[in-house]
């Protein structure tokens, strides 16, 4: 079988790129040939531009002069993402529009198109496109593997909701990453919708250690703090907790508030470095689904911060018996004892088997 994959694989987000790697690796283990359809719109590229560009020589030169260390670190980070895409993902030529995607799929004659994971079915994402729902003429199998509709699918506008429903009813196999997404879509279709694990959780620790870049320049103990979008007060709370424990806090982003004597900045962190940083952390703190996923896989203690009981995280924390690891609102960070990762991995293994059954059945 030859499958095409449509997902957020190139958005320079650790979770996005690593979930794409994971799904392709799982398909390889199943004996399924796959190619990620390299759909990169101008909107998506504009969200993660390189820190310096020949098309903007004046502003790039000024940036280099004002912030030389930061600029070159971010340029290394940008290149590490692009290198990961080229080296570890089997991708098609770059496509920039829905029409180019449709024409390429027709040319390649894939037996199946797999859409997922990540928030590719969330219309609120700036880089959302109906192509991620195979919204074009196609005669092969349409398979959804763990797409997310975001944390609040009930807030999707009526027009977007109607387009989603029309598209999913053309699928041969349907699944989502969260119960909340399943519940939402089930209101509008009588199709079976399976809840499955994010692709990152289908691989085990050794699969990721094989590609991790272990050469990170940090030898002392540290707390790894990571959130894709900083929420007011979260970093200060994590920093104060690190100070109470007498340990440094490591960050990989360049938000202005990420400063202090106990802060370690690793701004050139790509996907491989991210894996190594999680693996070697004393504790991970943040507001990120994939920080949670890799903490579980790599056996690292973690604490999650959120302004609400995030459904994406709770969907994974609940079966693990770890809902106390999510701190909501202004509540203080407390040490809740050590996680029994042997028990966690046993539970995760059962969920993994169930998700793999779905994928094998969908592929036929």
- pLDDT score for 89: 98
The CATH number of residue 159's host domain is 3.40.50.2000
Does 234 share its domain with 94? Answer: no
Q: Is 270 inside any structural domain?
A: yes
Beta-bridged to residue 285, according to DSSP, are 225, 303
pLDDT at 66 over 80: no
Q: Is 214 inside any structural domain?
A: yes
Spatial neighbors of 178 by CB under 8 A, at least 6 apart, are: 148, 149, 195, 311, 312, 315
Over the range 213-231, which residues count as b (16 or more CB within 10 Å of their CB) and which as e? Answer: beebeeeeebbbbbbeebe
Does 299 share its domain with 334? Answer: yes
Q: Is 65 inside any structural domain?
A: no
Distance CA 306, CA 36 (A): 32
Does 133 share its domain with 7? Answer: yes
48 pLDDT band (50/70/90 cuts)? confident
pLDDT at 54 over 60: no
Q: Is 281 inside any structural domain?
A: yes
- pLDDT score for 246: 94
53 pLDDT band (50/70/90 cuts)? low
pLDDT tens digits, residue range 308-341? 888 889 999 999 999 999 999 888 887 778 999 9
- pLDDT score for 57: 61
Calculate the average pLDDT of the chain.
92
Cα-based distances in Å from 44 to 11, 55, 111, 253, 262:
7, 18, 27, 19, 34
Q: Is 272 inside any structural domain?
A: yes
Does 194 share its domain with 154? Answer: yes
pLDDT at 55 over 80: no
Distance CA 209, CA 298 (A): 9
Expressed as residue numbers, the domain containing 6 is 2-46+89-204+351-363
Report which of residues 36 and 51 the model is more confident about: 36
The answer to whether 8 touches 39, Cβ cutoff 8 Å, is: no
Q: Which two tokens stand for residue 119?
A: 């928030």
Distance CA 220, CA 242 (A): 13
Does 334 share its domain with 358? Answer: no
Q: Is 80 inside any structural domain?
A: no
pLDDT tens digits, residue range 67-110? 667 788 899 999 999 999 999 999 999 999 999 999 999 999 99
Does 194 share its domain with 216? Answer: no
Q: Where are the beta strands (DSSP E) in 10-125?
A: 33-36, 112-115
Distance CA 99, CA 141 (A): 19
Does 108 share its domain with 212? Answer: no
- pLDDT score for 256: 86
- pLDDT score for 231: 84
pLDDT tens digits, residue range 122-165? 999 999 999 999 999 999 999 999 999 998 999 999 999 999 99
Distance CA 192, CA 23 (A): 22
Distance CA 272, CA 87 (A): 12
Does 199 share its domain with 228? Answer: no
pLDDT tens digits, residue range 175-232? 999 999 999 999 999 999 999 999 999 999 999 999 997 777 788 999 999 998 888 8
- pLDDT score for 192: 95
Does 283 share its domain with 317? Answer: yes
CA-derived radius of gyration, the chain? 20
Q: Is 63 inside any structural domain?
A: no
**In the chain, how many domains are there?**
2
Q: What does the pLDDT average to over 286-308?
A: 96
116 pLDDT band (50/70/90 cuts)? confident
Q: Is 357 inside any structural domain?
A: yes
> Percentage of the chain surpassing pLDDT 70?
95
């Amino acid at each position: 079988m030859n499958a095409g994959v449509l997902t957020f694989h190139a958005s320079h987000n650790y979770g996005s790129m690593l979930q794409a790697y994971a799904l392709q690796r799982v398909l390889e283990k199943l004996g399924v040939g796959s190619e990620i359809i390299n759909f990169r719109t101008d909107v998506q590229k504009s969200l993660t531009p390189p820190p310096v560009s020949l098309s903007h020589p004046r502003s790039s030169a000024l940036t280099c002069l004002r912030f030389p260390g930061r600029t070159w670190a971010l340029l290394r980070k940008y290149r590490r993402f692009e290198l990961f895409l080229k080296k570890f993902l089997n991708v098609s030529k770059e496509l920039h529009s829905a029409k180019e995607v449709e024409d390429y799929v027709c040319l390649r004659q894939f037996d199946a198109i797999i859409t997922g994971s990540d928030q590719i079915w969330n219309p609120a994402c700036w880089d959302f496109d109906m192509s991620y729902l195979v919204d074009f003429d196609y005669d092969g199998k349409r398979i959804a593997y763990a797409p997310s509709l975001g944390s609040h699918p009930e807030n999707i506008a009526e027009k977007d909701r109607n387009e989603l429903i029309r598209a999913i009813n053309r699928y041969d196999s349907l699944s989502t990453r969260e119960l909340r997404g399943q519940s939402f879509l089930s209101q509008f279709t009588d199709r079976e919708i399976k809840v499955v694990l994010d692709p990152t959780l289908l691989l085990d620790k050794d699969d990721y250690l094989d590609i991790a870049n272990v050469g990170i320049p940090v030898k002392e103990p540290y707390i790894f703090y990571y959130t894709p979008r900083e929420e007011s007060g979260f970093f200060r709370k994590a920093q104060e907790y690190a100070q109470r424990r007498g340990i440094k806090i490591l960050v990989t982003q360049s938000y202005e508030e990420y400063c202090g004597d106990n802060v370690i900045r690793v701004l050139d962190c790509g996907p491989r470095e991210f894996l190594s940083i999680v693996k070697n952390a004393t504790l991970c703190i943040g507001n990120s689904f994939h920080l949670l996923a890799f903490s579980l896989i790599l056996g690292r203690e973690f604490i999650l911060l959120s302004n609400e009981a995030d459904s994406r995280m709770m969907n994974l924390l609940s079966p693990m018996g770890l809902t106390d690891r999510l701190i909501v609102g202004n509540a203080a960070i407390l040490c809740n004892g050590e996680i029994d990762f042997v028990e966690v991995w046993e539970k995760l293994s059962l969920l993994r088997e169930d998700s793999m059954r779905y994928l094998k059945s969908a592929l036929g």
